[in-house]
Homo-oligomer: A and B are copies of this chain.
Amino acid sequence: MNVALCAIGDEVRIGQVINTNASWIAAACTSCGCNVREHVTIADEAQHIVATLDRLRQSCDVIIVTGGLGPTHDDITKDVLTSYTHDTLVESADWLAYLESWMHQRGRELTERNRRQALLPSRATVLPNPHGTAAGMMFQHEGTTIIVLPGVPTEMKAIMEQSVLPWLVGCLTHESAPTTTYHTMMTVGIAESTLADLLGDPTVFLGTSTLAFLPNYLGVRMRIGVTAPTADARDNEVQRLRAYIIERAGRFVYGEGETSLAEVVGRLLAQRGETIAVAESCTGGLLGAALTDVPGCSAWFIGGVLAYSNESKIAQLGVDPALIEQHGAVSEPVACALADGARARFGTTYAIGITGVAGPTGGSAEKPVGTVWISLAGLHGTEAHVFQFGNDRRINRERSIGTALGLLWKRIR
């Protein structure tokens, strides 16, 4: 089953908003067994919408359209789709009742503007939206299914999970064509080309399967793609490739499937009955945020100190002022003192300290922008390592987080 995604909206087209919906929908449809053929982003412009639908219908069974369903005048998707499918808008008594109860619960009156959201195409299937006032819609049009969803990510996701994905799975169970399964393995601490060399000639070990390398600031992900007609055949081939990769690069693989390095580290800490605290200078909370992004983290994350100023390093973490004076705030002894201080104050098994020159200013010849010291304190003692991440503030901060988590992972894996 071929699926195309079509985002409608000038905010996405001119780059004011990152299209996170496309990756979410694509991943959800792919994991159901659909082939996502293409994503496209276009303007809120009737002619371009119609031309795009005409084109995508030639190669796709399902088109998922997002955006342009809001209550303001710039939202035209519903009108365009209704006219495209030769339908008319009628007021839905059910949706009106839903809108009234929605507003009532929030202590608001149903305005004329909101009431217009109950005007829905007469033949489309209405898809309930638990998080908003815009209805999702499913149109059947000359052999293609066109699904229209709000652009607000929570609303889109809720309708996908509640209505669209179950429908897709139902359609796919009647199909018997070869399907592609993907399996992801995540590495940390190795460069993309070194990893590729470690694995050897892909034309020899891959056979008809595919392997993609996806580097980011946290490491390199490898995605295995296997196409076969049965689930068993796909599973066997995935296992064969997994074993091949693990034999050669297993020491760099921190996880498989959809899991983050913070989740892996958290699971390990929970299993070991151990805890962690953080002491962050240049990352200012980003490491704590990554760790507490993991549901259930209260079992192993105790707390931390954001010691941005030198005074706070001294007063809140007990760093010796003489260390800062002699070596500077971005130095091995201060990094160690940060981790030691956090570990002592929060009484945890481990603590991570980060101190660096995030940029754009603050660099020197000796310690240029991008110099970051990362330390790990634990039962083994306290270690610190220096990194040079380059001159982009955001990347320095993100790579610091990935590197710090990688250090901890190597220690407790």
Contact = CB atoms under 8 A, between A and B. Distances in A.
Identical copies in the complex: 2
A16 B306 contact: no
A390 B131 CA distance: 9
A42 B38 contact: yes
A405 to B, nearest CB: 14
Contacts of A13: 26, 36-39
Interface residues of A, number: 106
A74 B213 contact: yes
Interface string A1-42: 000000001111111111110111111111000001111111
A73 interface: yes
Contacts of A30: 14-15
Contact of A15 (B26, B42, B298): B26
A303 interface: yes
Given A15-B24, A19-B19, A360-B295, A192 B70 contact: yes
Interface in A291-321: 291-293, 295-298, 301-309, 311-312, 315-316
Contacts of A154: 390, 392, 395
B302 A292 contact: no
A22 B16 CA distance: 10
A303 B298 contact: no
A340 interface: no
B284 A289 contact: yes
Contacts of A316: 303, 305, 316, 345-346
A231 interface: no
Contact of A302 (B74, B285, B312, B394): B312
B280 A71 contact: no
Given A16-B223, A345-B316, A193 B114 contact: yes
Interface string A29-73: 110000011111111100010000001000000000000001111
